[in-house]
């Protein structure tokens, strides 16, 4: 496991490796911008701020913190109209961990997952019961079904065969009786 300080960037601890890499890049960008931006010229700062917002330059807490610092600076400048200062659009899920290492949004998400799992289990039990009832009805029914169709057909053809045999023997007896009268 990596050292805790290796996962911290500007006071933020990142669990996810990809976000950690992005935060490190943003921290370098923030340092570069702080060295280059002349805070004596609020109009240029406003242009830079708006360009960074348009280009979505920052996606982690590190970058958003810098944007917020610029925004507060611009709001304090009387030369810049507050209407000209665009709000910071957050494009990433910025969950800040509490002392226990989880977030409120994660807890809410876990509750939702548990609740949907309960609903799923109840629905599965209900479907299992319905399928059992359907099989029970099918097995106790006297009409032919897929399960007992062959048996029903064999019984039906056996009954027809027996009936035909009885009729045939009755016809043969009558023919013999008629032939007996002819002699």
**pLDDT in 10s for each residue of the chain, 183 residues:** 456 678 888 888 887 888 888 889 989 988 998 888 888 888 888 888 888 888 888 888 888 898 898 899 888 988 888 888 888 888 666 555 544 455 566 677 788 889 999 999 999 999 999 999 988 887 777 776 666 778 878 888 899 999 999 999 999 999 888 887 665
Which residue, 55, 56, 57, 87, is CA-closest to 72?
A: 87
**pLDDT number for residue 115:** 93
CA-based end-to-end distance of the chain: 114
Residue that has been written with the tokens 């289990």 in this structure: 121
pTM: 0.49
CA distance 71 to 104: 27
C-alpha closest to that of 53 among 37, 69, 39, 64? 64
- Residue count of the chain: 183
Q: 3-class SS at 9? A: strand
**Percentages (nearest 5) of helix, strand, coil residues in the chain:** 70, 0, 30
Give domain limits for the chain: 4-94, 99-141, 144-183
| 3-state DSSP assignment of residue 12 | strand
């Amino acid at each position: 496991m990596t050292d805790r300080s290796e996962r911290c960037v500007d006071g933020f601890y990142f669990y996810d490796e990809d976000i950690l890499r992005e935060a490190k890049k943003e921290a370098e960008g923030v340092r570069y911008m702080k060295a280059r931006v002349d805070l004596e010229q609020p109009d240029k700062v406003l242009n830079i701020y708006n360009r960074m917002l348009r280009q979505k330059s920052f996606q982690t807490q590190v970058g958003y913190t810098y944007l917020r610092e610029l925004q507060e600076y611009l709001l304090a400048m009387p030369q810049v109209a507050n209407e000209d200062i665009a709000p910071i659009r957050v494009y990433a899920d910025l969950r800040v961990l509490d002392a226990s290492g989880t977030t409120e949004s994660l807890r809410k998400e876990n509750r939702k997952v548990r609740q949907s799992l309960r609903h799923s289990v109840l629905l599965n039990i209900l479907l299992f019961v319905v399928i059992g009832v359907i099989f029970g009805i099918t097995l106790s029914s006297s009409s032919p079904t897929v399960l007992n169709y062959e048996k029903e057909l064999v019984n039906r053809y056996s009954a027809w065969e027996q009936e035909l045999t009885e009729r045939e023997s009755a016809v043969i007896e009558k023919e013999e009786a008629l032939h007996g009268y002819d002699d």
